[in-house]
Structures are given as C-alpha cells and as structure tokens.
C-alpha cells in the first residue's frame, strides 16, 4: 500500500522534477531497508524524513544519510532501549521528580529520605516515573507499582476483586483500535477530505491517537489501515491529526456510540447527571476534580435531578455559566455561600427547629449518616464524601437499634 501510494503521488502529484527524483530515491531506500530491518523502524525513518521536508529543514535533493545513521543505530540497540525506557521519565526529568518529593515532604505526605529500612518488615520498593500532563508543560509523577516483576505491590493485589466484590476488567485490544481507525477515521477522510483541509480527530483512546499521529503499529492490519490513510491524504491533499481528550469530556459521544450495546447507556444518558467539583473543603487548590453522579428518582419530592432540570428550565443560561443560578431582582445571579446559608436557616426556622444548630455543613454530616443507615459501606462513603481519612466516622450517628445489635452479638458469644 505504501509503494502504491508513493507511485500514485510520483506519477500524478509531484510538483517538480526534484521532488519526483527525491521520492523515487526515498522509495528505493524504503524497499531496501524493509528487507533487512523491522517495518516499524523503516516507517519511522520514512515519517521523519517527510517531516523534515514539510518543515523546510531539508529538500528533496538533500542526502538523508545522517537520519539513516541515527535510526539504524537506534534499531541495533532496540533491546537496550526497551530495558532503559521504563523509567526514563524519572531520569530525564530529575528536576520534576525533586520538585514533587520536596512538595510532598513539605505537606507531610511522605517521610524520608532514609538510608536504610526504618521498619521491621520487608519493603517493596516502587520506582518513580513521570508522564506529561495533558495540555500542560508540567509532568505528573507516578509510581511503578508493577516493579519488580513477581514481587511488586500489584502482584499482591487480586485484580478481579474490588471492595470485596468480584469484578471483570477488560482492556481495549487491537480489534478496538482497528474498529476506531477503520470505521471512523478512514470514513471521515473519504467524506470530508478536501484539498488543503486540515482534519482534527478528538479521541479519548490514547493508543489510537498515538497510532494515527506516529503512523506506525505492530499490527499488520493496522499498518495496512495507516497506509490507506496516508494514501487518501495524499490523493485528496489534506492533513490528518488526532488529539487526546479526557474520557469525562467525551461521555456524550461515548454513550451514543454504544447506544445499542447495552441498556445501561440509555439509562445513564437519560436518568443521571454528573457534578464536577473543582474546589471544595478537601480540594482547596484545584489539584483534582471530584465527580459525583446524581440519579433521577421521580417518586421522591427530594429528587435532585428533577430540581436541577427545573432550575435550568426556569433560568436558562449558557453552558459556561455557574451550575446553580437564582433570580435576584431582575438579574440572574449564581448561588453564593451566604445565600445558601440564609435560605437554609429560614427554612429550618419555619419548620420549628433551632436554626443556630444547622448550617450548610449539615448536608455533609447528614449525608454520611444517611448513607450509613442505608447500608452503604464505609469505603464508599469515604470515597463519595472525598474524605482522606476516617474522620467521617465521627459524623455517623448510631441509633439504639444499632447499639442493641452490637450487644446482642456479644452476648451470643458468652
């Protein structure tokens, strides 16, 4: 497919004699290299040389010997590279690692450094690594909990059990990537590919994004798809790039694309909303986002889903507006902390209770107690309330029936 695409370009689309001769010479080298080296490495050389020409760093009449030497040397050291690549994010970005450790030590989240094991038990050492953050120059520091193989932290965790329940976790396989590239990307190119047009595909699958942008894959079928993409782009004279977006930002297309696979997707689409908290009592610096789903319950007058939908109908606003709005005079304003406190105390006073004993924090404390009374496990209560410790257990109110149950079980053992 690559040869056919190149020949089509040479015969019908070359702008001058220099480009035609340069492409023929490049094609001869590709044919030679493919007989002695891995095809993936040959594609790297091909893509890198085209990129140099597109950026104006090289011309079709230049010699590609320098680039050939670099790539071939990398190929000879392939096994060494694979061994060293695992934690290169820590070695190559040592300043980011030092910055992370210093920050965590300052917070009191980690202790050390230690010259020897400070505990009486054996330790498993998990190396640090770093990966780039999306849309940022900063890097995210991670731990390799799968090292060393056979004795790592992950080796001691049964992958099919979560919170005491059996779960089945399936990772995307090559067939999933093939479906994305073949049925979506190629169809997109054939429909919208036009001369001079730049097509950008947003995808929440990082592997698919890398395969499309790098133009290489270990799968032979995917290689054939990539060659077809290259051929279509050359014929239609268009450009294709893929960018990664977080799965949370792709929920609507994700549900619609899986609509017919399971009843759970229409249910999630119609009967729940997801609230994202970028700041809260436990998220004071916007370091992460807390996500809480709200399920519809039309049989209850306290249905938060229905209340939010009614508010959106009564006070229509743009998607970038604050989530909770109220009419103040003739203007629509966001609900503030003081407004909520004042409204809550007025309601408490109207039903005959002491308003000084209640505040907006009562929802947090009462929510934990109510979840506990409904039989929700303490682990999930801690997760839902975003508590970092067991401090939430101080909020739980045990009734007389609960205390009698404890006494009964103890007496039975006597």
* Residue range 101-127, pLDDT digits in tens: 888 888 888 887 777 777 777 777 788
Q: Which pLDDT value is given to residue 290? A: 83
CA distance 210 to 241: 10
**Residue (of 56, 57, 58) closest to 26 by Cα position:** 58
> What are the two backbone dihedrals, phi and then psi, of residue 7, each rounded to the nearest 5 degrees?
-65, -35
Domain extents in the chain: 2-85, 174-200+218-241, 355-414
User: What is the average pLDDT across 283-298?
Assistant: 80
- The pLDDT value recorded for residue 354 is 92
Helices (H), 185-321: 186-192, 206-214, 220-236, 251-257, 264-271, 304-314
- The predicted structure's pLDDT at residue 199: 83
- State the pLDDT at residue 333: 87
How many other C-beta atoms are found inside a 10 Å radius of the C-beta of residue 220?
Answer: 9
83 pLDDT more than 50? no
Mean pLDDT of the chain: 77
Give the pLDDT mean for 44-69.
76
d(CA 345, CA 339): 10
**Distance, CA of 146 to CA of 129 (rounded, Å):** 12
pLDDT digits (tens, 9 = 90+) for 323-377: 888 888 778 888 888 888 998 999 999 999 998 988 888 888 888 888 888 878 8
Contacts (Cβ under 8 Å, ≥6 apart) of 327: 315, 333
Taking alpha carbons only, the member of 333, 358, 179, 196 closest to residue 258 is 179
Mean per-residue pLDDT for 406-413? 70
Which letter does DSSP use for residue 158 in this model? -
Joined together, the tokens standing for residue 348 give 């408490």
Q: Is 27 within 8 Å of 3 (Cβ atoms)?
A: yes
The region of weakest confidence among 5-14, 134-143, 197-206, 212-221 is: 5-14
Q: CA 151 to CA 123: how far, in whole Å?
A: 10
Residue 132 reports pLDDT greater than 60? yes
Name the E strands within 225-369. 239-244, 272-277, 290-295, 325-328, 331-334
**Other beta carbons less than 10 A from residue 180's beta carbon:** 22
Instruction: Say if CB 44 and CB 71 are below 8 A apart.
Output: yes
Q: What length does the chain have? A: 414
CA 361/CA 366 separation, integer angstroms: 8
What's the pLDDT at 36? 63
């Amino acid at each position: 497919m690559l040869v056919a695409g190149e020949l089509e370009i040479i015969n019908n689309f070359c702008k001058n004699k220099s480009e035609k001769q340069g492409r023929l010479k490049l094609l001869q080298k590709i044919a030679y290299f493919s007989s002695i080296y891995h095809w993936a490495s040959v594609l790297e050389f091909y893509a890198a040389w085209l990129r140099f020409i597109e950026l104006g760093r090289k011309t079709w009449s230049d010699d590609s010997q320098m680039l050939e030497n670099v790539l071939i040397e990398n190929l000879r050291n392939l096994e060494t590279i694979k061994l060293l690549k695992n934690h290169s994010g820590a070695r190559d970005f040592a300043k980011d690692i030092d910055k992370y450790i210093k920050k965590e030590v300052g917070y009191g989240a980690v202790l050390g450094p230690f010259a020897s094991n400070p505990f009486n038990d054996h330790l498993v050492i998990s190396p640090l690594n770093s990966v780039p953050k999306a849309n940022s120059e900063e890097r995210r520091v991670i731990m390799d909990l799968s090292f060393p193989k056979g004795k790592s932290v992950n080796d001691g965790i049964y992958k099919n059990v979560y919170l005491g329940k059996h779960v089945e976790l399936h990772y995307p396989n090559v067939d999933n990537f093939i479906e994305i590239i073949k049925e979506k990307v190629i169809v997109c190119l054939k429909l919208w590919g036009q001369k001079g047009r730049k097509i950008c595909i947003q995808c929440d699958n990082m592997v698919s994004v890398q395969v499309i942008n790098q133009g290489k894959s270990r799968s032979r079928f995917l290689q054939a798809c990539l060659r077809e993409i290259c051929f279509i782009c050359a014929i239609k004279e268009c450009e294709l790039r893929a960018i990664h977006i977080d799965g949370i930002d792709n929920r609507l297309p994700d549900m619609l694309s899986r609509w017919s696979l399971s009843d759970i997707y229409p249910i999630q689409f119609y009967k729940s909303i997801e609230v994202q908290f970028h700041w809260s009592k436990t998220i004071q610096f916007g370091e992460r986002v807390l996500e809480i789903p709200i399920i519809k319950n039309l049989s209850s007058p306290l249905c938060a889903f229905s209340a939010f939908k009614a508010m959106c109908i009564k006070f229509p606003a743009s998607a970038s507006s604050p989530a909770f709005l109220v009419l103040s005079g003739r203007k629509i304003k966001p609900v503030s902390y003081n407004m909520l406190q004042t409204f809550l105390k007025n309601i408490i006073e109207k039903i005959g209770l002491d308003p000084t004993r209640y505040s907006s924090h009562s929802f947090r404390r009462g929510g934990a107690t109510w979840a506990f009374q409904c039989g929700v496990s303490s682990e999930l209560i801690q997760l839902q309330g975003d508590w970092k410790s067991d401090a939430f257990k101080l909020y739980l109110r045990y009734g007389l029936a609960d205390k009698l149950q404890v006494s009964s079980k103890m007496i039975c053992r006597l």
